[in-house]
Amino acid sequence: MKNNLQILSLMALLFVACNTEAQRYASEIFTTNQLESDVVYGANVDPFSMSGAAEDPATWGAEMGALNANIDNSEPFPIEFFTPNAVLPEEDQTLVKLVSLEMDIYTPPADDDVTERPLIIFIHTGNFLPALFNGGITGDKIDSAGVNLCRQWARRGFVAASINYRLGWNPTSTDPDVRRGSLLQAVYRALHDTQSAVRFFRASAVDGNPYGIDPDKIVLFGQGSGGYVAQAYITLNDYIEEIANLPKFIGVDGPYVLESVDGDIDGGPGATRLPDPRQEAGISKEVNMAANAGGALADISWLDPGEAPMVSIHCVRDPFAPFDDGTVVVPTTNENVVDVSGANVFIQEANDNGNNAIFQDMPSDPYTDRARSLYGETFDYILPTQPTITVSSTPEGLFPVVVPINEPIPGTPFFNESGPWDFWDEPTLQAVVAATNAAIGTEFNADELHQQGLLGNPGMSPDKGLAYIDTIQGYTVPRIIAALELPLNVEDELVFESSTSIYPNPTKGELTIKNDEFIIQRVELMDITGRVVASEVVNAGIHTVNRQDFSDGVYLLNIYFDQDSRVTKKVLFN
């Protein structure tokens, strides 16, 4: 009964919480956004696709030298370095293989009059393997969660970029040393690629600023495995102390990551890493904040006083990225890989170090109140060796997500939810699987992937995913605003917000909108895709919206006043 009440309370919070939409950044002030897809922000070596060649630099040093010459002369890389050898004549085949790094950039509409806007870089999930190959459905810059987060950020007035980064490691090796080493190298490559993305934007800001960013206001947001990258980005700053001398990062042959081979922690070149010209030009990689949904920190010793603030939304019973101190388990094989610290530990440490001090006095709102109500609480846990888990006492910046224990196969913890914000379309999955199998001869089964995904995300749907994304935004965005010291004119907007009421909500039929102080000019109802389904001129202080034939679900009701002010409230038709 207690669990059911918790779920009902959370759903009520997600569906009927309201906010003021006329405040830039704090809420969506636009109904549309622009998208530029597949923007190339760099290219680099993909050691994982080079088979045994990567183990012997002497065999491909000449090719690396030629590629370095291309960089020095500002010339494009020859196409054969990007092309699988299987489709090339033997004389054109290369030992070195490159990956083109691409991103999708979301910006406010073209008529936005702000020309220097904060930037949020989104780092997708996927266990550092491509979708399908990682045993799951997600793992790309076009995953539904990332697309919707970025759209919403752009409609709030931010610039958002969802990046792809280099993937590949060996999760199926029977040697735990190989699993751990290849995974850490994959994280390191993703870290470098994220640095390249930050430098790309910072360079663009002094070269015409085509995306209209403020180069001094940059935030990273990582989902799942992308969360590991985001937290490593702001905490890893000393190779010797934080990698080379930590036992868990040292294998039988020495450190898993070698600066001479993999490049230095600031993005400099190594034997298997080409230099980033922007890094060599002195362009900064610094960011103002890191946030994640479902990630962890590689080692708590990395976290030092004075580093950027961090925010985390994390499922308390996440079976893969531990909420507390624990071991990363990769869904591809359900094998243990490396010990890490979860958000319950590193967010508390960030507070103890003073890094999250800016969040201490955040005002009350439904999301902040919900998070704080869980601090210090103890919950049943999913491991026989750990029957309970307790949320830290003062982890400001942590939103613990509490969902019921989920064990469709009794005694198996791996179906507990780790990403309830994820959702997918089954027909699209069928088409992607069919195309992949036809192109490269794999034998993925879309039905099995879909059913496996549902076991770990019961009730998966756009409504569910977007409701959790509302929580991510509701909790994270105010903290981004605080960390970036963004201007807000909240006083006037709160007057409209506090004087506007809607009832009943949820409703099965009519919905009344009332404001005793201001004239309502018009109202607009949008579905969860952002499509306007009804619009009416009002010019009165009270108005009734008829449900008509709208289906059950969550809608956004935009209420417009004079002086270009607008309040948006969530409505649930049931």
pLDDT in tens, 454-475: 999 999 999 999 999 999 999 9
231-235, 318-322, 492-496: which range is least confident on average? 492-496
271, 64 contact by CB (below 8 A): yes
What is the third-level CATH fold of 490-573? Immunoglobulin-like (2.60.40)
**Binning pLDDT at 50, 70 and 90, where does residue 10 land?**
very low
Q: What share of the chain is helix, strand, coil (3-state, %, to 5)?
A: 35, 25, 40
Q: What percentage of the chain reaches a pLDDT higher than 90?
A: 72
Please give the backbone phi and psi of residue 161, each rounded to the nearest 5 degrees, phi first.
-135, 125
Report the pLDDT averaged over residues 147-160: 98
Ordered by start, the domain boundaries in the chain are 32-60+95-484, 490-573
Does residue 6 carry a pLDDT above 60? no
User: Is the model's pLDDT at 13 over the cut of 70?
Assistant: no
The answer on pLDDT for 18 being more than 60 is no
Kindly report, residue by residue over 417-442, the tens digit of the pLDDT: 999 999 999 999 999 999 999 999 99
CA distances (Å), origin 428, targets 144, 208, 210, 439: 12, 38, 33, 16
Q: Supply the DSSP string of 24-65, one letter for each residue.
A: TTTS---S--EEEEEEEEEEEE-GGGGGGGGG-GGGTHHHHH
Q: How confident is the model at residue 54 (pLDDT cuts 50, 70, 90)?
A: low
Could you tell me if 126 and 224 are in contact, meaning their C-beta atoms sit under 8 angstroms apart?
yes
Judge if the upstream peptide bond of residue 506 is cis by omega within 30 degrees of 0: yes
Question: Does the pLDDT value for residue 30 go beyond 80?
Answer: yes
Please give the pLDDT value at position 570. Answer: 84
pLDDT at position 4 over 50: no
> Contact, 180 vs 171, CB < 8 A?
no
pLDDT number for residue 490:
46
Q: How do residues 216-244 score in pLDDT, each as one tens digit?
A: 999 999 999 999 999 999 999 999 999 99
CA atoms of 57 and 61, how far apart (whole Å): 6
**What pLDDT score does 100 carry?**
97
Alpha-carbon 43 to chain mean position: 22
Q: How does residue 52 score in pLDDT terms, banded at 50, 70 and 90?
A: low
Rounded Cα distance between 121 and 15, Å, is: 27
